[in-house]
Amino acid sequence: MNNRSMKTAAALVAIVAALGLSACSSDTDSTSKSAETTTSKGGAFETGDAKSGKEEGGEPAATTVPNLPKPTAAELNARLTKALTGQLTGDEKKTYIEDADQDPMLVDKFVEAAKKNNVKVAITTVGDPADGKLKANADVTIDGTAVKDAFVDFVAEDDSWKVSHVFACNIVKSAKLDSAACQA
């Protein structure tokens, strides 16, 4: 930077700083007057008084977890194989991974990550569903290396068992990909 540019930049910084300080400062008379004029009784809103006949809100409606039957290992393997091989239609993609609606590309990123890392998953046993969730033990390999004590979590959503977004996001992140559905 040449000398003239430095002086111009320094002058601009000084002007901005001066304007900021003068905007923040005020005399005590104007402060006390504005405090007097703006402080007034807030009425029923500030006191918490309820108006008769008006509802002030209630408990949020409880969502019911779908009561889906326990899937077999073969059913879950068929779903996973179809997803991991990229054979899903656009409508099917929303039914395979939990929270896929947060990122329409989540399933594609899941498939890409699985292919990039040569991920193979085979469900071996399926646990009993509890509170709309189930755990399935699996033989998982990543780049030919077996993952010890591997499992896949599934979540009951709508009318199907979906791969939990946690499992999907772990696969996506392992390939150094990003998804809105995988943000902490």
pLDDT of residue 45: 45
Is the pLDDT score of 154 beyond 50?
yes
- Alpha helices, H only, 25-134: 28-38, 44-47, 73-84, 90-93, 106-116
pLDDT-derived band at 51 (thresholds 50, 70, 90) equals low
pLDDT-derived band at 36 (thresholds 50, 70, 90) equals very low
Is the pLDDT score of 60 beyond 90?
no
CA distance 46 to 107: 48
For the chain, the helix, strand and coil percentages under 3-state DSSP, each to the nearest 5: 45, 20, 40
Q: Which CATH number fits domain 73-182: 3.30.2320, 3.10.450, 3.40.50, 2.40.10?
A: 3.10.450
Domain boundaries of the chain, sorted by first residue: 73-182
pLDDT of residue 91: 85
pTM above 0.75, yes or no: no
Rg (CA), the chain: 29
72-91 pLDDT, tens digit per residue, is 999 999 999 998 888 988 88
* % of residues, the chain, pLDDT over 70: 65
